[in-house]
Amino acid sequence: MNTENEAVTPEAEPTHRRGIKSFVLRQGHMTAAQQKAIDEQWARVGVDYRPQVVDLDAVFQSTKPKVLEIGFGMGTATAEIARALPDMDFLAIDVHGPGVGNLCKLIAEQNIGNIRVMRHDAVEVVENMLAESSLHGIHIFFPDPWHKKRHNKRRLIQVPFVQKLLPKLQSGGYIHLATDWEEYALQMLDVLNQFPEELQNTAADFAPTPAYRPETKFEARGKRLGHGVWDLVFRKK
């Protein structure tokens, strides 16, 4: 792990003892501006991992509905969504140091008050820190498709992980997934369809892109390569 990134939080390089992971650690150079943003903003917007349930209303000092975002990349779309939806609070989780720093920088520059940032394995956060029925929404946009067949088992969106997510979601809450990899999109659809007693698709199969989700760099890249982009929005019954 890049030593520059280890100073973000004591949990910057978590250990993992399960089969499901929300990420693969990536090396990345953190710019001086990104590190400065973490140093200056973490006390205000950062949430350190601890293996106990937290009160999200206390974390945000707000009773707004809570949305979990897993894997925010450089945070540009996260910041835009949070500004577009000021009546919701967003808990954004990623492990990539430069992305964490960049989102902290955007929060400061744009004076965004409804985002809190974590740098940890999202699976452990879901398992240990989130109370049942504490989330109004879950966003997972453009997770690693692990396109080689032998690596498909590393994909985040699988039945065991959705089983962990569903108890945290309120009745009437939603899961919004997006990918630019068609085969993964079909797998995502199949996985969510395996919970007919708990989830209802808002579309016949893939949903129109909701107005709040901006085009990400991954989406733009996919379109340039001739790929489609697929959104799925399911609501909890």
Catalytic residue set: 144
Chain position carrying tokens 């996260």: 78
Q: Which long-range contacts (CB under 8 A, 24 or more apart) does 187-190 make?
A: 187/152, 187/155, 187/157, 188/157, 188/230, 188/232, 189/232
d(CA 165, CA 156): 12
Contact criterion met (CB below 8 Å) for 177 and 203: no
d(CA 7, CA 28): 14
**Angle value at C-alpha 126, between 67 and 179, nearest 5 degrees:** 60
